[in-house]
Amino acid sequence: MLVAGLVASSAMAVPSVMAAPSAMAATGVTCAVPDQRLTELSGLVADGARWWAIADGGRVSRAISLDPGGCATTGERSAPIDPVDVEDVGIGPDGALWLADIGDNTGERDTVAAIVLPSAGPARLHRFAYPDGPHDAEALVVADDGVPLIVTKTVGAAGIYRPDGAPGAGTTPLRRVGQIVLPESTTPGGPLGSAGSRTITGAGLSPAGAAGPGRVVAVRTYTDAWLFRLPSGATASGLVEALAGPPVQVALPDEAQGEAVALTADGTLVSGGEARGGRPATIRTVPGAVGEAVAPDAPVAAQPDAPPGPSTPAALPAIIGAGTVAVLLCGLAVAMTLHARRRR
């Protein structure tokens, strides 16, 4: 049974989402990934009869194609661009792969980047700058109009950012256009315990022209995937609107470090995780996930109020004022003492 999440209206000028636990789960391991370059599998997209996968970090901009029948390597796209920390991959409407060089564990990058690998021709490098300081992020999705959206890894209110203009050769400023707030989940797995159930580590979009009843945009955490219906289409603005709606939860239990999610044309959800504890990087599937998520009878819970934001205590101005007076009096006392000593 699927249980849709809860929606929360935002206290800010951007939309937010609060979701609730539910019960659809992955079917189990589909295949172990034999290519050692994908030991730290971090991102997936589905492109027709193949999957494209990327590894976390690295010194080469590379995407590796896999056969869904057994995860065997079937090809690659690469470019001689040295990234900082690639964390996800999206696919544009023209079939170009967008490598999301957006990882920033220490929170000190002035810019992040996307390395675009087209099916033919030279790669493109786009740099972006957040309007509100550095963010660590592991999720990127490219809308049908070619606009990339980045979702930060913030526990609590994860920010949604889009370029403020067409990406070019220079640095394009980003604009915060929304936020997602996910609750804790009881799904086991992941490296961070309960915090990992609210940490967004990947994103995906149903392919254009996908068969079935509809399309969804997905975000995932270390323990679950959350599917959002697309009532207004899959442009960038449509995705932002969808991410403010009620999601459906797909449990992805017992993934040691689950960071990849993709959606196929037949409505299957594909999940991937890094190698950990002697277990190889693995990919597994949830057939029919999209169809169940967009079913008209999928239950949707009531809309609670948004979580309260930080506030200033009512007594704080008085406390500050009293502290200021005390400092001034202490300073005056010291000055008088020094003056008296100089007169002796």
pLDDT digits (tens, 9 = 90+) for 171-206: 999 999 999 988 778 899 888 877 888 899 999 999
Range 336-343 average pLDDT = 44
Are residues 227 and 239 in contact, defined by beta-carbon separation less than 8 angstroms? Answer: no
Chain Cα centroid distance, residue 181: 11
Pairing between β-strand 137-142 and β-strand 148-152 as defined by DSSP bridges: antiparallel
Most confident of 5-19, 177-191, 231-245, 330-344: 231-245
pLDDT range class, residue 113, cuts 50, 70, 90 = very high
Are residues 202 and 269 in contact, defined by beta-carbon separation less than 8 angstroms? Answer: no
pLDDT range class, residue 153, cuts 50, 70, 90 = very high
Provide the pLDDT for residue 12.
36
Based on its alpha-carbon atoms, the radius of gyration of the chain, rounded to whole angstroms, reads 24
Distance CA 173, CA 167 (A): 9
Range 202-228 average pLDDT = 89
Please give the mean pLDDT across all residues of the chain.
Answer: 82
Give the contacts of 254 (CB within 8 A, at least 6 positions apart): 188, 189
* Model confidence pLDDT, tens digit, residues 291-317: 999 988 765 533 333 444 333 333 333
Higher pLDDT, 62 or 314: 62
Provide the pLDDT for residue 343.
41
Provide the pLDDT for residue 316.
34
Whether 82 shows a pLDDT value over 90: the answer reads yes
Q: State the DSSP code for 270.
A: E
Q: What does the domain layout of the chain look like in residue ranges?
A: 24-293, 313-344
Whether 137 shows a pLDDT value over 50: the answer reads yes
| Size (the chain), residues | 344
Quick one: residue 100, left, alpha or beta (phi over 0 = left, psi -120 to 50 = alpha)? beta
Provide the pLDDT for residue 212.
60
Most confident of 119-123, 296-300, 317-321: 119-123
Tell me whether residue 94 is exposed, middle or buried, using C-beta atoms within 10 angstroms of its C-beta: 0 to 12, 13 to 18, 19 or more.
exposed
Range 98-109 average pLDDT = 96
Range 68-79 average pLDDT = 96
Are residues 64 and 54 in contact, defined by beta-carbon separation less than 8 angstroms? Answer: yes
Provide the pLDDT for residue 11.
31
Among 136-145, 188-197, 214-223, which stretch is predicted with the lowest mean pLDDT? 188-197
Provide the pLDDT for residue 156.
82
Provide the pLDDT for residue 23.
52
CATH of 24-293, one of 2.120.10, 3.20.20, 3.90.660, 3.30.70: 2.120.10
Q: Which residues pair with 1 in a beta bridge?
A: none
Provide the pLDDT for residue 164.
97
Provide the pLDDT for residue 305.
39
Backbone CA torsion sign across 5, 150, 271, 85: negative
Higher pLDDT, 14 or 34: 34
* Model confidence pLDDT, tens digit, residues 250-282: 999 988 899 999 999 999 999 999 999 888 999
Higher pLDDT, 316 or 86: 86
User: In the chain, what percentage of residues exceed pLDDT 70?
Assistant: 78
